[in-house]
Amino acid sequence: MDLNTQNELVKKAIAVLESLESGNPEAIMNYVHPDKYIQHNQALPNGRAAMLSALDHLKDLGLKVSIKRALVDGDYVALHSVYDFHGPKIGFDIFRFENGRIVEHWDNLQEMVKKTPSNHTMIDGPVTIKDIDKTDANKTYVKRFVEDIMIGKNRGLLTTYFDGDHYIQHDPHIADGLSGLSAAVRAMEEQHIEMQYTHIHQVIGQGDFVLTISEGLINGEPNAFYDLFRVENGKIAEHWDVIEAILPPEKRKNSNSRF
């Protein structure tokens, strides 16, 4: 896919997201498929009509959205944003395109924590995509990291994925570096918090940024884990994430899979 096509997809995805703030239906009408739109946010009904019907309500809520990062991987566009409704939140939105129109959407949303152990915010840091030629290698590397470390196939390899303690952390509960990660794991054990990744559903990457979408459990309750990694010189250099509980079946407004 050429650069112009990639930029066009990003513009369309951003316009659709920004329409949730403006209440203007034009972008949704133009860029979202009228019949084939699959919604994986289980708190929303399926289809384009449901999105259009929500615009007035979202505008009344005073929803604001500020997009920080955009990744393009084939027919997929991933956006990393700050939302503000009932307080600030961090979100990832993924749109899948067919023939220039959006036909599928996934997302994950988490309350924004302002004071973090690392003194970084949940969304600050680099935004410029580098190393386009390393996209495939970085996607493979990050997928292997999640499998080895987060899922637990070979946690003994943890230190090999990092350049010593040089690791910038945007998770709201973890300090920078491998030392911060180790301290967070100890704290979770002391508090009897069990976090388990069970399956990777998607890997979306562009250059030095790779987003993984995983399923797992926190204290036995199903959750969706969206992890964004920045790879530098063949090592994981930075990490952002959004974790959201998966709704129980009786609260879901569509029958599509969360993933």
Q: What is the pLDDT of residues 139-186, one digit of tens each?
A: 999 999 999 999 999 999 999 999 989 999 999 999 999 999 888 888
User: H or E stretch including 54?
Assistant: helix 48-61
Answer yes or no: is pLDDT of 120 > 90: yes
The reply to whether CATH 3.40.50.1970 applies to domain 3-114 is no
Q: How far apart are the first and last CA of the chain?
A: 25
Domains 3-114 and 132-245 alike in fold: yes
**How much is the pTM?**
0.96
Answer yes or no: is pLDDT of 129 > 90: yes
User: H or E stretch including 20?
Assistant: helix 3-22
The reply to whether CATH 3.90.650.10 applies to domain 132-245 is no
* Domain chopping of the chain, boundaries: 3-114, 132-245
Q: What is the pLDDT of residues 41-82, one digit of tens each?
A: 999 999 999 999 999 999 889 999 999 999 999 999 999 999
pLDDT range class, residue 95, cuts 50, 70, 90 = very high
Beginning with the edge strand found earlier in the chain, give each strand of the sheet holding 38-39 in spatial order. 38-39, 101-111, 88-98, 76-84, 64-73
